[in-house]
Amino acid sequence: MIPPVPVRQWVISVPMRLRGFLADRPRAVAAVTRIFLDEIERLLLAASGGTPDADMPRAARPRLGGISFLHRFGSALNHHVHLHACVTDGVFRPAAADGGSDAPPAFLPARLITQADPAALTERVRRRVIRWFRMQRLLDAAAAADMLAWENSGFSVDASVRITLVDRDVPSCFRSLEHLLRHCARPPFALERLSVIRGPDGRIARIRYVQPRHKAASWVGPGRTRKSTRPGTSGVVTMTGTSSRVG
């Protein structure tokens, strides 16, 4: 289903002020997803030299290929609404009308995505998302202006994971396309990370959940080392029947 082209994972999280809306308003999720993918496509069009002319018919314009995933959880089993998108690292230009109906589209690969690209994309997404929430009256004018004035916007976009053709189909490789898609489509927890601690009476006293550790990948910008999900912790969530804590 996914052509043999490089694929990049894009991840966006929004400020906590907006996450509650995403938790119970499908229209808000759809709007953020559309804005996010629109801006990724805009970036890829510029990065691949495929930016269409203003008078080009819509059907003839280059388009990205991608699939998005809504996550309502973080790696520590915490509530954290954010989006993952697996997107072709470039755009597809439709075949010319005189090329026949069987002519495949041409893939235009994007140049190297630099650290400045996600930063610029984040700012465009931030302004469009806040404007949408304002138009839907989920934010009033004062709240929208306040969010636009934040020094730290609360919006975060990561595009550091890229699947190359060399690694794409390598079995059990954490840089493979299958591994990336499984990661994006995963449930909130993994059974193999759960273990039961029983008390003297044999009843379940606690449940331990070992958090996944970040793997090194094709990072954008400075290198990053392996670390637990929350720095300064052991990466273990200990749960009882009524509460949980990170240790």
Average pLDDT over residues 108-120: 93
Domain ranges of the chain: 7-188, 190-247
d(CA 52, CA 215): 37
Q: What is the pLDDT of residues 165-216, one digit of tens each?
A: 888 888 777 778 888 888 888 888 778 888 888 888 888 888 888 876 643 3
| Per-residue confidence band for 217, with pLDDT thresholds at 50, 70 and 90 | very low
Are the CB atoms for 15 and 153 separated by under 8 Å? yes
Who's near 130: CB < 8 A, 6+ residues apart? 139, 144, 147, 148
Taking phi over 0 as left and psi of -120 to 50 as alpha, with beta for the rest, 32 belongs to alpha
Are the CB atoms for 32 and 172 separated by under 8 Å? no
d(CA 35, CA 129): 7
Task: Say if pTM beats, i.e. exceeds, 0.85.
Answer: no
Q: Which is more confidently placed, 241 or 36?
A: 36
